[in-house]
Amino acid sequence: MNTRGENGPILVLGGTGHYGRHIIRSLLQKGQSVRVLSRNAANARQVLGDGAEIVEGDITSRKSVVEALKGTKAVVISVSAFTPRLIRRLRLIERDSVLMVLEEAHKAGISRVVYISVYDIREDLIARLHSDIARIKLDIETTLRESGFNWTVLGAAPSMEIFFAMIRRSIMMVPGGGPPALPTVSPVDVGEIAAQTVLRDDLGGKRIRMTGPEAISFQEAARRISEITGRRVRYRSIPLIPLKIVSMVTYPLNPFLRHLVGMIELMNSFPPDVVTEVPQDHQWLVNTFSYTPTTLEMEARARIRV
């Protein structure tokens, strides 16, 4: 049965998340109706306000997925299990359930799918660092490429939040020191680009890297945040090896730590040749989408106001 709704809502999976909530906001601002599948409707309502339709359910349940897809015209997948509580179900949530969503979307006659992935995926890095998360993203991207969907993959750079999250008592503590330069993006820009992408019909079959205007080091980020906020933030590199040993000893008691260390290693190994492409990736975004890019300075200023 074809249950596709040409005028129906867009379903955002992970719509209450760090990136998802901005995707919802941008879609609503454009007058587009949206639906969110969330495990906790009351929390989703608090996060998203009144604009979005909320279906309470779990992506691991086929029944919930079928209900959420009913009458929708497109799907944005921005779901993540990268939390201490969910990490044991990482593969189930981010891979197996997303594949099930694609299966059910196909049955429902929905063709437009936008998938939020990571900025860049390197087979050699995945193999060297045994990154389950990157492997899962690659599996989904490969499935989309080989499918008949009208798909777009949006490869998100790490959120700019990463610079602020590492500050404790005016010290930016960076395990392993961080790479010489890292592209980051504001969640606001992710929301806007993803919303425009899912509403456009000329971006099918494309993998787009979403980044802010430049790639910078953690030292440089600390310097700029100090300048804007007027409060000195000192950068400090902390060794990764002790954290790695603890993560190995405490696994499987605390599998999250091992995944976290894996993510930090991926970040510290950020490929320099990809960094050199950041200005042109960003220019492409500016030429292709209608938005005002958010800079680190703008993010820092917004935090002073709060």
Q: How far is the CB of 39 from ligand NAP (least distance, A)?
A: 3
Q: How far is the CB of 19 from ligand NAP (least distance, A)?
A: 4
By beta-carbon proximity to ligand NAP, the closer residue of 58 and 227 is 58
Among 32, 39, 96, 135, binds ligand NAP (CB under 6 A): 39
Among 11, 34, 59, 105, binds ligand NAP (CB under 6 A): 59
By beta-carbon proximity to ligand NAP, the closer residue of 176 and 191 is 191
Among residue numbers 141 through 200, which ones bind ligand NAP (CB under 6 A)? 156, 158-159
By beta-carbon proximity to ligand NAP, the closer residue of 60 and 147 is 60
19 binds ligand NAP (CB under 6 A): yes
Give the residues across from 74 on adjacent strands: 10, 112
Q: How far apart are CA 157 and CA 120, in angstroms?
A: 8
Window contacting ligand NAP (CB under 6 A); options: 8-16, 140-148, 195-203, 246-254: 8-16
Q: How far apart are CA 188 and CA 200, in angstroms?
A: 19
Dihedral sign for Cα 85, 90, 94, 99, please: negative
16 binds ligand NAP (CB under 6 A): yes
Q: How far apart are CA 293 and CA 86, in angstroms?
A: 32
Q: How many residues bind ligand NAP (CB under 6 A)?
A: 28
Among 37, 101, 113, 140, binds ligand NAP (CB under 6 A): 37
Q: How far is the CB of 230 from ligand NAP (least distance, A)?
A: 27
Neighbours of 119 (CB within 10 A): 21
Q: What phi and psi, each to the nearest 5 degrees, are found at residue 156?
A: -85, 135
Window contacting ligand NAP (CB under 6 A); options: 31-39, 68-76, 143-151, 256-264: 31-39
Tell how far CA 290 is from the center of its chain. Answer: 20
> Hey, what amino acid is at 12?
V
Q: How far apart are CA 243 and CA 74, in angstroms?
A: 42
Closest CA to 275 of 207, 230, 211, 223: 211
Q: Give the CB-nearest residue to ligand NAP.
A: 17
By beta-carbon proximity to ligand NAP, the closer residue of 17 and 213 is 17
Q: How far is the CB of 245 from ligand NAP (least distance, A)?
A: 26
Q: Counting beta carbons within 10 angstroms of the beta carbon of residue 231, is it exposed (0 to 12), middle (13 to 18) or buried (19 or more)?
A: exposed
Q: How far is the CB of 48 from ligand NAP (least distance, A)?
A: 9
Instruction: Please give the torsion angle defined by the CA atoms of residues 128, 131, 145 and 156, in that order, rounded to the nearest 10 degrees.
Output: -110
By beta-carbon proximity to ligand NAP, the closer residue of 206 and 232 is 206
Window contacting ligand NAP (CB under 6 A); options: 9-17, 144-152, 283-291, 294-302: 9-17
Q: Look at the chain and count its residues.
A: 306
Among residue numbers 67 through 126, which ones bind ligand NAP (CB under 6 A)? 78-83, 86, 93, 116, 118
> b vs e for 139-174, b when ≥16 Cβ sit within 10 Å of the residue's Cβ?
bbbebbeeeebbbbbbbbbbbbebbbebbeeeebeb
What are the residues binding ligand NAP (CB under 6 A)? 14-20, 37-40, 44, 58-60, 78-83, 86, 93, 116, 118, 156, 158-159
